[in-house]
Amino acid sequence: MKNKLITKVVLIGGGPACATAAIQLIRSGIEIILVSKEIGGTIKNANLVENLIGYPEGVVGLDFAKSFQLQLIKAGVSTVLEEVLSVEQTGNKYTTKTAETEIISEYLFIGTGSIPKKLDVEGEEESFLKGKLFYEIYNAKQFTDKKDIGIIGNGDVAYDYALNLQNIANKTSIIRRNDKTSSLPILQERVKNAENIVVHNKLVIKKILLKDDKIILEMDEDGNSITIIKDLVLVAIGRKPNCDFLSDDLISEYNNPKADSRLYFIGDVNKNNFRQVSIAMGDGMKVAMETVKKITEKEGYHGASRKVW
């Protein structure tokens, strides 16, 4: 039988958006539960976050994730570390379900971020299941020591992944579909100056094979077939919002928001989000404060729960 819980606000997601919102709600005396398979979100992929005020030397993504994980504990945020399987609305209540837990809430924050886009080529799924192809670098990094790594993509993420492995992998190749990149100039310059990072242009992946503990990329180069052999491959060709677990009516609300809704989408799960940690944190703070205002005005007091005074 599932554990059944009731709370004022459920926050789904373990990244900076939900972490910020959760801490602000707790400070305001609002009863909450944060639900996520793990804490950290995709910021754990970042080699170095350099545009976050308060970190003049930048901060490694994993280190930043660990810091707000500790802050959630210190703030006393109740967490359910389980994967959310479904969310639905019945009347004016939301039901969040995992394999072990069912939570009823009056308000719902969705901060589940984004998931990687796939190549959709033969051999991709098998390579992923056998641990030779990855989409998130924090899952792959432990296997990259002194290895020959291929990174498929031409944006900030691909370049950041390569720089993340600069002092770990033997050699890293960025494999691009064309001869242009959407990556930041500062990342391009660092890749250019790295001795063990090379960039391949105008290569289109057609098929992936596994042989003798190697991953083989069969590609097209201007109509000619070529092969590149690597120890591991990372795919960084883009991401899409992670909201497939929502019921059809909540997906409809995601696409067409309601003015009086108690459902909020924060951080990278938002369509056309710029995928910046500071924006995600700002989303979380803004929605938390709006929700506190709604709850306190409805219950006839302002700013904090009566029990705090």
Q: Do 206 and 302 fall within a single domain?
A: no
Report, in angstroms and rounded to the nearest whole number, the Rg of the chain calculated over CA atoms. Answer: 22
The Cβ of residue 261 has, within 10 Å, a number of other Cβ atoms equal to 13
User: What DSSP element (H or E) covers 105?
Assistant: strand 101-110
**Are residues 161 and 229 located together in one domain of the fold?**
yes
211 Cβ partners below 8 Å, 6+ apart?
Answer: none
Residues 68-81: tens digit of each pLDDT: 999 999 999 999 99
Q: Are residues 194 and 88 in the same domain?
A: no
Task: Give pLDDT tens digits for 10-30.
Answer: 999 999 999 999 999 999 999
Q: What are the helix (H) ranges across the chain?
A: 16-27, 61-75, 124-129, 137-140, 156-164, 185-193, 248-255, 277-298
84/189 same-domain check:
no
Indicate if 155 and 254 belong to the same structural domain.
no
Choose one of 198, 215, 235: the last residue of a domain: 235
Looking at the structure, tell me whether residues 213 and 274 fall in a common domain.
Answer: no
Of 235, 258, 279, the last residue of a domain is 235
Same domain, residue pair 206 and 162: yes
CA angle 283, 285, 290 (to 5 degrees): 95
CA 11/CA 26 separation, integer angstroms: 12
Nearest of 209, 304, 268 to residue 17 by alpha carbon: 268
Can you tell me the distance from the alpha carbon of 155 to that of 45, in angstroms, rounded to the nearest whole number?
14
164: which 2 tokens? 């993340």
For residue range 268-294, list pLDDT tens digits in order: 999 888 999 999 999 999 999 999 999
| Domain co-membership, 10 together with 99 | yes
Check whether residue 97 and residue 141 sit in a common domain.
no
Q: Could you tell me the CA-to-CA distances from 52 to 57, 95, 283 in Å, in that order?
A: 10, 35, 15
Q: Domain range spanning residue 33?
A: 3-115+239-308
CATH code for position 156: 3.50.50.60
Clarify whether residues 111 and 124 are in a common domain: no
Number of structural domains found in the chain: 2
Tally of helices (H runs) and strands (E runs) in the chain: 8, 17
Q: From first to last of its 309 residues, what are the pLDDT tens digits of the chain?
A: 689 999 999 999 999 999 999 999 999 999 999 999 999 999 999 999 999 999 999 999 999 999 999 999 999 999 999 999 999 999 999 999 999 999 999 999 999 999 999 999 999 999 999 999 999 999 999 999 999 999 999 999 999 999 999 999 999 999 999 999 999 999 999 999 999 999 999 999 999 999 999 999 999 999 999 999 999 999 999 999 999 999 999 999 999 999 889 999 999 999 888 999 999 999 999 999 999 999 988 777 655 554 443
Name the average pLDDT for the chain: 95
